[in-house]
A and B are shown apart, each in its own frame.
Chain A
């Protein structure tokens, strides 16, 4: 019979688990709750800064025509007036053809988005994925154009478009977007550079032309950054006042931003509660856009390392 020799037992120190006392447990839990409370307090304060003016607008918008708007102290939350009807009235107010303005604005905004997405992605693609002579100097030249303030271009641009006969049309507001935007080109190029280059090479071996690679491979993979560009374009153009103010001269062509400005300037005739209701209404489309693609937008911004 064989005997199995066991290894001599060595002394293993007993494993001691020291349970924390009740007091320690409470202290720890209390600290965690305190930290969380502080965090919420900070968040709520920031929210209040953003939301209180909106609350004031809503309060005023719900007031009847003759109720005082500019009270002291300001009323942040709806008082005993709940005239929801004011929103409808703002929409059909004769001095302010809200629906017309909305349609005009949406037209300008979407035309700009299409222009920006086509032009910027087309320019960014070769900068990001193709090798050609003077690629880097050209790109830096493009970046330098970001340093020229838009205001410096207003006068020459106005004359330029005026002499083209575009004054009083939407063309000066739309066509420039088809010429690209240095900031968006930069963003899209950075994103496209992160796509593995083997995909292009595989596509080239598969028989695709450069344009097919752009259209079928690179563009679908760049949707996150294109979303970011689209949202930024939407908001910039929705809120753009100066551009339409310079080039549009017909009430039927006005965008919401001019409409609201006009209404405010004529507030002697207009009713402030309706003006504020219209303002609130004009905030809804950007808010919807934001909410609808919030996840994708945050994803895109996170990938780009871009703070909104």
Chain B
């Protein structure tokens, strides 16, 4: 088990495509790092470069205390779990798990003991004689894990290992992977495009877009302090509402204006984000998470105005009753943030989502979603008074998409002795 360090790792394919652009990351010993991003963002390439299946065209990859760039996969001593499991179809489960040990000439008894132990950890002891084709998806997944576990490698690399499973099994296997990783304490890099998976599994999450590392941090850090509109829009479900708003200061204080909606910005927010003062009189991208809005009747501190939020009145165009909560959709007289990042995110969700965003931008009316208590009586076509908790509001520069900060975003995962600046690749730009 060992720490993995990526220093300015890059990959340019022979046809000139830049898949990975100077990524620096530190995965501490025994931790699980999730690489997340939309499909084609280069996260799998990063994983394959660590495994040695792709040659990095720039930077250094350090596993433990060795620079592994020039080593073969065999010499790197890392185990990989593939998306389609890649089980050898002509071998039994036992042979599949034992093969890597056999190659390394591990004595028979030791091999047997380790295979049985791996099978016990995964609960597949009774499947050892079967062939992969006789197994269900979940069982195959376990065998693939077994093949990685049995080697006692320095690190596990997992490439979307749950994407071929149905939703229920995926949740189950997710906690299983988390448990096994905790039990074994092996440094793990887990690639997924599913942000829920990333948030629930990772000690640390690295968000990648178009080969560029956007932000690294704990799931909470990414959720609470996204560095740019891409991370803001990518992390969280439903996604953060991102709307163009004017920042004004009048006799009632500093506030954002979106059409007729005026949301006052509490002083604590202004103190935490001194750079915001420079944006007064200009337009900013305002980000509000659906869960930071609540039916004003049910919001604590809303009724007497003692809370740090504002109340705004909207007409619900559509509601979804989720049982435990209520999603209220409404339009506001302000354009949605329409940067390339946001368009890319919408395109990722499907053509309809992209078309809807384009429509909103054209009409200059953003569609906003609020996640309120199931006890709320707000319904489709009704007026609703929403309490917006502005303490959790996010502000981004409209042109760069970067968070307007000067705040205290913890630079998590800071580089140790090796000097690889995790998160600092984007952090640099915020520090001023």
Contact = CB atoms under 8 A, between A and B. Distances in A.
B113 to A, nearest CB: 19
B103 A204 contact: no
With a 10 A CB-CB cut-off, give which of B79, B82, B86 has the most chain A CB atoms: B86
A198 B82 contact: yes
B90 interface: yes
B215 to A, nearest CB: 29
Contacts of B301: none
Contact of A205 (B51, B83, B104): B51
B88 A199 contact: yes
A252 interface: no
Interface stretch (A47-55, A85-93, A209-217, A277-285): A209-217
Contact of B53 (A205, A207, A217, A220): A205
Interface string A194-211: 001011011111111100
Given A201-B80, A201-B82, A206-B99, 20 more contacts: A196-B84, A198-B83, A198-B86, A199-B86, A201-B51, A201-B53, A201-B86, A202-B82, A204-B52, A204-B72, A204-B73, A205-B52, A205-B78, A205-B79, A205-B80, A206-B79, A206-B151, A216-B99, A220-B90, A221-B90
Given A196-B86, A199-B86, A202-B86, A208 B103 contact: yes
A204 B74 contact: yes
B312 interface: no
Interface in B130-162: 147, 151, 157
A206 B103 contact: yes
B100 interface: yes
Contacts, number: 52
Given A204-B52, A205-B78, A208-B74, A217 B104 contact: no
25 contacts: A196-B84, A196-B86, A198-B86, A199-B86, A199-B88, A201-B51, A201-B53, A201-B80, A202-B86, A202-B88, A204-B52, A204-B74, A205-B51, A205-B52, A205-B73, A205-B78, A205-B79, A205-B157, A206-B103, A207-B74, A207-B104, A208-B103, A220-B90, A221-B89, A221-B90
Interface in A177-191: none
Nearest to A209: B74
Contacts of B157: 205
B12 to A, nearest CB: 16
A204 B83 CA distance: 16
Nearest to A212: B103
A28 B115 CA distance: 62
Interface string A113-138: 00000000000000000000000000
Interface of B: 51-53, 72-74, 78-80, 82-84, 86, 88-90, 99-100, 103-104, 147, 151, 157
Interface of A: 196, 198-199, 201-209, 212, 216-217, 220-221
B84 A206 contact: no
Contacts of A221: 89-90
A205 B52 CA distance: 8
Nearest to A202: B86
A207 B82 contact: no
Given A198-B86, A217-B88, A220-B90, A206 B53 contact: no
A204 B52 CA distance: 9
Contact of A206 (B83, B89, B90, B147): B147
List of 10 A-B pairs having minimum Cβ-Cβ separation, nearest first: A202-B86, A198-B86, A206-B100, A207-B74, A204-B73, A205-B80, A220-B90, A205-B73, A198-B82, A207-B103
A202 B74 contact: no
A71 B392 CA distance: 106
Given A198-B82, A202-B80, A207 B88 contact: no
Contacts of A212: 103
A178 B103 CA distance: 28
A203 B91 CA distance: 13
A204 B88 CA distance: 13
A191 to B, nearest CB: 14
A119 B80 CA distance: 32
A172 to B, nearest CB: 37
A206 B79 CA distance: 7
Contacts of A216: 99
A212 B84 CA distance: 22
Nearest to A207: B74
Contacts of B99: 206, 216
A198 B104 CA distance: 21
A201 to B, nearest CB: 5
Contacts of B83: 198
A300 B396 CA distance: 61
A202 B53 CA distance: 10
Q: Which of B51, B99, B104 has the most CB of A within 10 A?
A: B99
A201 B83 CA distance: 12
Nearest to A219: B90
A212 B105 CA distance: 13
Question: Which of A199, A201, A202, A220 has its CB near the most chain B CB atoms (within 10 A)?
Answer: A202
A208 B75 CA distance: 10
A216 to B, nearest CB: 7
A185 B71 CA distance: 31
B104 A204 contact: no
B142 to A, nearest CB: 15
Contacts of B151: 206
